[in-house]
Chains A and B, each alone.
Chain A
Amino acid sequence: MLLNQFLLLSAFLFGTGIYGVITRKHTVLVLASVELMLVAVNINMVAFGATLNNAVGQVFALFVLTIAAAEVGVGLAIVLLIYRNLRSANPDDASVLKG
């Protein structure tokens, strides 16, 4: 197996994630797209770890997983707050910062 197989897969997932973050009209889906990006990062970590034949890649992936979990928790709390205040989960409706 080439290392690049995994890296290119992760690059593709990352790009998809970026597309989702920019275009999705529901905040939960924006979060889901962020998860896509995090998975891409994890694949990179693990692939490098496997190339170097040690467990460090896995350990880093575990940390990323932990932080992703925390991020989803806080993120969904924020989504709930936005929904409660604006009666909408569309990020376009949260435009109070408009200049």
Chain B
Amino acid sequence: MLMNHFWFLDHAWLIPLIPAISYAVILLFGKRYGERAAWIGLASIGSAWVLALGTVVQWISHVNDSEGAEARGVVQSIGGMVRNIRLAAESKLHVEPIIHSTTWFQNNGFKLNVGIQIDGLAVMMLFVVTTISLLVHFYSTEYLKGDRRFNHYYAALSLFSASMLFLVVASSTLQLLAGWELVGLCSFMLIGHWWEEKPNSNAALKAFLTTRTGDIGLLTGVIMTFFVVQKYATMAGGKGTGSFDIMKVNEAAIGLGEHGGSKSLLFWCAAALLLAIMGKSGQFPLHTWLPDAMAGPTPVSALIHAATMVVAGVYLGARVYPIFYQGFHIAGGTINPMAAIGGATVIIGAGLAFVQNDIKKVLAYSTISQLGYMVMALGVGAWTAAIFHLFTHAFFKANLFLGAGSVSHSGANHSFDMKHDMGGLRKYMPKTFITFMIGTAALIGIPFTAGFFSKDEILAVAGENNFTFFKYLGLVGAVMTACYMTRCVYLTFFGEYRGGHADAHGAGHDVGHDVGHDTHAYVSDDHATPIHDDHAAHAAHDLHDAHDDHGHHGPHESNFPILAPLFFLSFMSIASGYLLSPMLKIEKFALWVEPHFGDDKHFNVFEPGVFKAIDPILAVAAGVVGMLLAYAFYWKKAYGENITERNGALRAGKNFLVNKYYLDVLYTDIIVGGVKGPIAQAAYWVNQNVIDNVLRYTGKGAAGAAQFVYKYIDQKGVDGVYNGSASGAGALGGLARKLQTGRVQLYAFTVLFGLGAIALLLVIFN
């Protein structure tokens, strides 16, 4: 039988393959088809979506069948093949993943397998990635119409989807690594899509390099997973061969943790992988690339933030969860690095979202904050809740991003600046407004939207697992989320429309732009006025021409290719929540996605939380408080206009946030400092500026101390340390630079002499 009950699951490797082929086709033959090349990408991702849907249906029926089999106590034989159905100790059902792998190469008993591992988690991700990607492909046909590198854009989009899907179905950690790097490369390509503008290419570089920092952790971690398996195999008395297979890694991590063997190996492995997650999923303090990644086209931002790039980190965390669970001893219920970083990111990301004037940056920081929730959930042992939040967040965040794109695309001048070019858009684009409101509601966690269920789940399980602190941290984050999203909606859709018509707007718009909006000021020659727009200098000419057809430049509702994804995503922003809710006694999602980690009788991370009425009440209260605060502060201006400007403390706080906690300054100065003086000079400088000041300032009371900490420790002390280490690195770089003489023959000498030396060694020792 060609199509048995496992056809889609067994052939899941087709799903990444199809977009990969489409990438090659568009790149090679795209020029010939012009903008019709988009349809190649659309068709490929469409068929991938159909296949993914097939896997979803078959997986669900597989799980349900297994459940039935469990009740009858039989092992089923389906489609001529016996599938293993394991009954673990407390008769908890575990559906084993479907693994098809082949040996890539083998060496001395070690086999490197590559293949697919399909389980509930992978199936869920396949569905999310293909769905969001399909919508983004469709949306982009309109949004990027007339772009000069339209084909490149679609090729990169295809490759992006392909690499993410490849990462999702990976059956070994090495494959994960490959997919991970491909995803990073594609995001680099897409963020820098309009690379002619320096800020855009800088943002792309920043994203690439920052995530590379985390990738060091991934590489180290992946290598360590090999030794985790080896260690476990040796402990069991076997030959002790390592492996990169995810199943074996997980089993070994559980085994090592249970039997108390080699805690430090597990800990460092988990720490290295956590660094990878921090880089990719924008966790503090490696989050700085994410807001800059807004330089890319808006649909790409939606794809990066909802389905691909950033969730890759969370996915990694969920995939090899036993390593974290045992390495960080999550069951202990104390503070662990993963929960701490997640929790810090929730607050820090949300704090930054307050002061952004760029609607996309508000959403970017909100993504950081929400990713913080997911990592925190993983850190507090709420595996299912984390994955569920990933699932719902994908839909409502894509909804919000595409909504922001719609607002800007149809606005007067393609700006994302809420303060200067938006306001009152509710009247001009009611459909976008409704979808955006639904997305916002889901993000805030208004009852009976998707975000309500998923966020609630995280908080409930955190409480159950005795992580009370993180539960309340999450609640504070919820207050802040409600507050900044209300501000964002108010600035965008309510009040009076502030952006003039394109031909009328000009003077005054090029001045007074806040920090964080420094990337959008170019001169468009056909309007001869500065315009503030990401794609102003490229697609804008065509787009403006297109808008001229409407006879006006004012804001107007977007057309079908933009609205259709918005409607679908709004629907999902509500509906996706109804898959898991202890309150409504729905536990389907947990049943479907829970993976099989080996003999995991001590794992209770998949159990949905127990419903307690107080949890949703607290969460809703948090949301209401946040919204009321924002309403009073921004909407009604209860404290008068510009209170932040008048009150010193508030102004300092705002400046601190506007400057993004000075992290960027810190990072930039590392690089800039690299060419500055030697270490001694830096140390002397620290001595002069910090230690002397410590003596001078200690006596000056609390206010002075606070100011000192802020001004000198943070800005100069920390900088000084970084400068010192950076100049060390700089000196090393200077040495290396001397080798790069540009003399080809000197290079030839180096290569040949080195080769000769190696050959000599081989001869001597042979």
Contacts and interface: CB of A to CB of B under 8 A. Distances in A.
Q: Are A and B in direct contact (Cβ within 8 Å)? A: yes
Contacts of A18: 752
A99 B752 CA distance: 21
Contact of A21 (B736, B739, B741, B745): B745
A49 interface: no
B131 to A, nearest CB: 46
A54 interface: no
Contacts of A94: 744
Contact of A99 (B739, B744, B745): B739
B748 interface: yes
B751 to A, nearest CB: 10
A98 B744 contact: no
A99 B744 CA distance: 12
Contacts of A30: 745
A85 interface: no
B742 interface: yes
A71 interface: no
A69 B752 CA distance: 23
Interface in A57-99: 91-92, 94-99
A21 B750 CA distance: 12
A2 interface: no
B348 to A, nearest CB: 38
A1 interface: no
A98 B741 contact: yes
Nearest to B756: A18
A91 B743 CA distance: 7
B646 interface: no
Interface string B732-755: 000011111111110011001000
A99 B746 CA distance: 13
A98 B740 CA distance: 5
Most buried by B among A22, A92, A95: A22
Given A18-B752, A21-B752, A22-B752, A97 B745 contact: no
A51 interface: no
A78 to B, nearest CB: 12
Most buried by A among B737, B740, B745: B745
A99 B740 contact: yes
Contacts of B741: 95, 98-99
A99 B749 CA distance: 17
B748 A22 contact: yes
A97 B743 CA distance: 8
A99 B748 contact: no
A11 to B, nearest CB: 12
A12 B744 CA distance: 23
Nearest to A94: B744
A22 B743 CA distance: 10
Interface string A1-26: 00000000000000000100111000
A67 to B, nearest CB: 19
A72 to B, nearest CB: 18
A92 B743 contact: yes
Contact of B742 (A21, A22, A23, A97): A97
Contacts of A97: 740, 742
Contacts of B737: 99
A97 B749 CA distance: 16
A72 B745 CA distance: 18
A97 B744 CA distance: 9
A35 to B, nearest CB: 15
Contacts of B752: 18, 21-22
Contacts of B743: 91-92, 95
Given A18-B752, A22-B752, A91 B742 contact: no
A92 B745 contact: yes
B742 A98 contact: yes
Interface string B141-170: 000000000000000000000000000000
Contacts of B738: 99
Nearest to A99: B740
A18 B750 CA distance: 12
Contacts of B745: 21-23, 30, 91-92
Contact of B749 (A22, A92, A95): A22
A96 B752 CA distance: 22
Nearest to A15: B756
A94 B746 CA distance: 12
B742 A96 contact: yes
Contacts of A92: 743-745
Interface string B557-577: 000000000000000000000
A22 B742 CA distance: 14
Interface string B645-684: 0000000000000000000000000000000000000000
Nearest to B745: A22
A18 B738 CA distance: 24
Interface in B699-745: 736-745
A30 to B, nearest CB: 8
Nearest to A98: B742
Nearest to A21: B748
A92 B744 CA distance: 7
A52 to B, nearest CB: 22
A30 B749 CA distance: 13
A21 B736 CA distance: 24
Given A22-B749, A22-B752, A91 B740 contact: no
B742 A95 contact: yes
A99 B267 CA distance: 41
Contacts of B740: 97-99
Contacts of B739: 99
A27 to B, nearest CB: 9
B474 to A, nearest CB: 50
A98 B747 CA distance: 11
Contacts of A21: 745, 748, 752
B755 to A, nearest CB: 10
A6 B744 CA distance: 31
A92 B746 CA distance: 9
B747 to A, nearest CB: 9
A22 B746 CA distance: 7
Contacts of B748: 21-22
Contacts of A99: 736-742
A16 B745 CA distance: 15
Nearest to B741: A98
Contacts of B742: 95-99
B308 to A, nearest CB: 35
A94 B742 CA distance: 8
A95 B740 CA distance: 10
B739 to A, nearest CB: 7
A56 to B, nearest CB: 25
Contacts of A22: 745, 748-749, 752
A96 B744 CA distance: 10
Contacts of A23: 745
A39 to B, nearest CB: 17
A92 B743 CA distance: 5
10 contacts: A21-B748, A23-B745, A91-B743, A92-B744, A94-B744, A95-B743, A97-B740, A97-B742, A98-B740, A99-B740
Interface of B: 736-745, 748-749, 752
**Nearest 7 pairs of A and B residues by beta carbon:** A99-B740, A98-B742, A95-B742, A99-B737, A91-B744, A22-B749, A97-B742
Given A94-B744, A95-B743, A99-B742, 5 more contacts: A21-B748, A30-B745, A95-B741, A98-B740, A98-B742
